[in-house]
Every structure is written in C-alpha cells, then in structure tokens.
Amino acid sequence: MTIPIGLGMPEAPPPVLAPRRRTRQFMVGSVGVGSDHPISVQSMTNTKTHDINATLQQIAQLTATGCDMVRVACPKPVDAEALPIIAKKSPIPVIADIHFQPKYIFAAIDAGCAAVRVNPGNIKEFDGRVKEVALAAGSAGIPIRIGVNAGSLDKRIMEKYGKATPEALVESALWEASLFEEHGFGDIKISVKHHDPVIMVEAYRQLAAQCDYPLHLGVTEAGPMFQGTIKSSVAFSALLAEGIGDTIRVSLSAPPEEEIKVGDMILQSLNLRPRKLEIVSCPSCGRAQVDVYKLAEEVTAALDGMEFPLRVAVMGCVVNGPGEARDADIGVASGNGKGQIFVKGEVIKTVPESQIVETLIEEAMKIAEELGLEEGSVSGSPEVKVTS
C-alpha cells in the first residue's frame, strides 16, 4: 500500500496571531532586520572574547543550533583586538556589545562587526559622543542597537522616575535615538529589557506605539533554564501576539545554545518560523499502558535534528491515542505491550513495544526520502537512544 505523504505542508502561510508591526528596515551583516524580514534569534557568547578559538568554536555551535546573529562582549583592549578576526571568520553576523568605554565602539566598527550594541546608561559621556558614533557607524554602513537595561538606567532618568518603570526605560531609549537622529543616523534597533515580564511587556508596548524602530525583545536576567524559559516565553508571546518584536534573545543562566533552542521553539509555536519536529505526547494517566515519558523522550532524542515539518504523536493508550496519532504525520497509540503505528492517518502496522521507537524512526526517514530531502535535513543519524 502506498501511503500518501502530504506532511501537512500548508499551501497558504500558516495563521499568525497578528501582522507584524511596521518598522524601518536595515541589514545586520547578511541578516535583514525589520518587519519585512523574518524574526531572528540571537544569543551571546560566554567565552572570553580574546580567546579567539574558543569564541569562534562557540559561534560555530550556535550557528549549528540555528542562531541568526551573535553578540560578543568587549570589556578589555585584548577583546577589541580580537574582534577583526572574529568578525571575519564568524559564519553569522557579529554584534559587539559595548559597555563603559566609548573607544571600543569605534574599535568594533573598525573591526568589521555587523552592528554595535551600546548601553547609553553606562557609557561615560555617551551623549556627547553620539555625533562621532553616528558618523563612524554611518560611514561603515552598520546599525546601532540602543540597549537600555533596567539594571543600568541612565542616572538622569533614574532621578526623574525613581526606578526602572516602563516609562523610564522608553524615555531613555527614545532620548538616545533622538540624539542619533539629530546627526542623520536612523539605522537603530532598540531594546528595553527588564527582569520582570510585566514591566518588560508594558515598556515594549509603549515603545512600539511611539516609534518605528525595529525592536529587540529580551527579558534580562531571566534566570536559570526553567524559570528563564517560562519568563521569556510568556513575555515574548504577549508581544509577538501583538506583532511586536523583530529580533529576540532568550537570556538564560545556561549554555547559549539552549537560548537558541528556546527562542526557535517560541517562534515555531507561534507560526513565526516554519515548524520542524513537533512531538505531540500525552501526559499519561492511570489508563497508560506504556511508559509515555520514556517513550516520548526516546522518540524526541531519536528524531532530534529533523529539519523538515514532522508532527509525531506519542500516546499512552487507545482513548485519545488513535485520534491524535491519526492527526499527526506519524504516531503511535500504545496498548497491551504493543504500538499501533500511524502514518498520515492510517494504521500501517502494529509492533511490539520494544520496536516502537525504531519503527517511528524508519517511517520518519521514509518521509524524508519521499520528500527528496538530502542528508543534512537530519542532523546526525537518527538512532534509538535508550533512556534510563
């Protein structure tokens, strides 16, 4: 029997919750930023930037995980000296992150970085040097991100508002942007980060209403993996559901690749990026006739890296199992030590529980083959990885 493979490939773009807010556009290296371009995902290296090999190695890992552009810190002269090689060899655009020392802004521009992020709140005499920065960035053709952060808000603004309110964050960012505009420089992206998602969301809403700059979303110091993922997801979703946000960074106290995975999944979940592997698995309950957690983990691990849209249902029993499995591209509904395997809504076979994972992998690979996908659409060889 030939199984028709449609894979749920949509003919029209999948629905989104809101159209993107209209913004001005520019390029950060090879990546377009603004409402006509896809939302991009960023992270930041945590190596010593002057350790060029380690930094480039981490950038390579981030690139492989799906990072669109990467930020590197530049706290010391040796870091500034490393920027030309890093900018040249990085496969994705490099954004230099500058705090405290204005001279590093010029070093980063000269080094060929694709953009510079400045935090006006903690760069000495920044307002007085905006003209020079605007001229240098303008002649190099690179954009500037004005990155306002609740923890380092401009003293003058802090005195006015008493704390980092949404209004304070927005006023600080728009004030700096206006100084750049006075010098004819408008390729500006803005972020107004706060650790509290409620304040952060309100700040971005206000900012979005008052300007057409592309916005970089971030919940700063969001915390370790679990908390940071939740805080970033809820804050970004609230904004993205209103069309606000052009680049995102999920800040986690975890390896930077994890930030990319979370950011990518947030965008996929909202149809703002094509969906790839999606596991639909049940929470299990007293009816489960198989260890659903273990099975779902094994299937996820085995299919990790699938670069084409594939919805896989892993269901614990025959109550909702067949329905969900039928709706997916491939699926299993388990019961009595066996698994009914579904492909595009049809039961194609029943296998013993011990063969469920390998059968799902086989079927996924057949789908990849029928789509004419080459190796590389699947990173690594799918294999059964037994979880304990």
**At its nearest, how many Å lie between ligand SF4 and the CB of residue 334?**
8
Rounded Cα–Cα distance for residues 360 and 352 (Å): 12
**Range 262-321, binding ligand SF4 (CB under 6 A):** 282-285, 287-288, 315-317, 319-321
Nearer to ligand SF4, 79 or 297 (CB): 297
Distances (CA, A) of 264 to 116, 214, 250: 23, 19, 10
As a whole number of angstroms, the distance between CA 315 and CA 341 comes to: 11
Q: Which is nearer to ligand SF4, 233 or 289 (CB)?
A: 289
According to DSSP, the residues that pair with 71 across neighbouring strands are 44, 95
**Shortest separation between residue 382's beta carbon and ligand SF4, angstroms:** 24
Query: Is 195 or 326 the residue whose CB approaches ligand SF4 more closely?
Result: 326
Of residues 196 and 353, the one with the C-beta less far from ligand SF4:
353
Question: Which CB atom, from 95 or from 282, has the smaller least distance to ligand SF4?
Answer: 282
**Spatial contact of 295 and 307, defined as CB atoms under 8 Å apart:** no
Q: Give me the least distance between CB of 332 and ligand SF4, in Å please.
A: 11
- Tell me if 13 contacts ligand SF4 by CB under 6 A: no
Nearest residue to 77 via CA among 109, 114, 100, 107: 107
Please say whether the beta carbons of 266 and 346 come within 8 A: no
Closest CA to 129 of 110, 152, 104: 104
Site for ligand SF4 in 315-354 (CB under 6 A): 315-317, 319-321
SS3 content of the chain, % helix, strand, coil (to 5): 40, 20, 35
Query: In this structure, what token pair is assigned to residue 326?
Result: 């039928």
For ligand SF4, give the closer residue by CB, 104 or 342: 342
What is the rounded distance in angstroms from the CA atom of residue 367 to the CA atom of residue 342? 13
Q: How far is the CB of 354 from ligand SF4 (least distance, A)?
A: 19
Question: What's the closest the beta carbon of residue 303 comes to ligand SF4, in angstroms?
Answer: 20
Distance CA 215, CA 319 (A): 45
CB of 288 to ligand SF4, least distance (A): 4
CB 251 within 8 A of CB 232: yes
Pairing of strands 115-123, 26-28: unpaired
Give the DSSP H or E segment for 87: helix 77-89
Choice between 120 and 321, CB closer to ligand SF4: 321
Q: Which is nearer to ligand SF4, 283 or 380 (CB)?
A: 283
How many whole angstroms separate alpha carbon 350 and alpha carbon 218? 47
Question: Binding-site residue total for ligand SF4 (CB under 6 A)?
Answer: 12
Cβ 328 to ligand SF4, closest distance in Å? 13
Query: Scanning residues 57 to 96, which ones bind ligand SF4 (CB under 6 A)?
Result: none
Q: Specify the residue, 102 or 316, whose C-beta has the smaller distance to ligand SF4.
A: 316
3-class state of residue 366 by DSSP: helix
Nearest Cα to 134, choosing from 184, 209, 196? 184
- Nearest approach in angstroms of CB 293 to ligand SF4 is 11
Based on CB atoms, which residue is closest to ligand SF4, 284 or 359? Answer: 284
Q: How far is the CB of 314 from ligand SF4 (least distance, A)?
A: 9
Q: Which amino acid is at 154?
A: D
Q: For residues 114 and 71, is the Cβ–Cβ distance under 8 A?
A: no
Which positions from 116 through 145 interact with ligand SF4, judged by CB under 6 A? none
Spatial distance between the Cα atoms of 136 and 130, rounded to a whole number of angstroms: 10
Residue 82 CB, nearest approach to ligand SF4 (Å): 52
Binding mask 192-211 for ligand SF4 (x = CB under 6 A): --------------------
Q: Which residues bind ligand SF4 (CB under 6 A)?
A: 282-285, 287-288, 315-317, 319-321
